[in-house]
Amino acid sequence: MVLGIDDTIERRRGKRIAAKGIYRDPVRSSHGHFVKASGLRWISPMLLAPVPWAGRVWALPFLTALAPSERYCRVRGLRHKKLTDWARQLVVQARRWLPGRDIVVVGNSGFAALELLAAVGRHKVTSITRLRLDAALYNPAPPRLPGTNGRPRTKGARLPNLSEVLASPGAVWQRITVPGWYGEGERSVEICTATAVWRHGGMPVVPIRWVLIRDPQQRFDPPPCWWTPQISSCGSEVP
């Protein structure tokens, strides 16, 4: 079962709407232009269901939570929960409702947080999101030898940044066909993929499979994505 997760802003004004806050408007903002929006922030997991007569995948929300602003919590003496904390709770709740199903959760780069992905991974949930090109990736830790003192290693040798892999002439690319590419029908793209562990000081260690994507027609910049390999395969709509 493929689920999407995202937050949205409900634009509301008035003195009685206490949980409203000021957030980045994801629709009107861009990389170089920041637009603020006032309202309520909701986060929702959605079933990504292919609709045959529509020719695309629809996102059908089935659970929604209000994520109040930090100022709202501070004024009322409440502990503020980050968006990734809400996401963890919602995904774990979906796992409780679907104990016998393989679950794949797809989110944007805002959900590429080690604490979140390690937490949902413990519940056998596969996560797919976008990763920074300069993320610190390593080989898995080598086997521990008998008689070794000290704490076990959590990582092996450092791997090249994904930006270096992208520019490397030795990278192995394979061409695949993606159905239903944003309403354009089938689209051929090239991917380069391998496994690694993602680690940052003081954070959990997460095993991942990273995927670099590039367009032979050069119509978009190569975005990286990755998933934690908790299950063996994903649906055709996931890439």
Checking if the pLDDT of 237 tops 90, the result is no
Distances (CA, A) of 209 to 63, 151, 182, 187, 238: 28, 26, 24, 22, 14
Checking if the pLDDT of 109 tops 90, the result is no
Contact 65, 86 (CB under 8 A): yes
213: helix, strand or coil: strand
Checking if the pLDDT of 90 tops 80, the result is yes
pLDDT of residue 105: 95
Render pLDDT for 165-218 as a digit per residue (tens, 0 to 9). Answer: 988 888 899 999 887 677 677 888 899 999 999 988 888 889 999 999 888 877
Render pLDDT for 10-27 as a digit per residue (tens, 0 to 9). Answer: 887 777 777 877 777 776
Stated as kind and residue range, the H or E segment containing 86 is helix 83-97
Render pLDDT for 121-168 as a digit per residue (tens, 0 to 9). Answer: 999 999 999 888 888 999 998 888 888 888 888 888 999 999 899 888
Question: What are the structural domains, with CATH classification, of the chain?
Answer: 1-129 (3.30.420), 131-143+154-239 (no CATH)
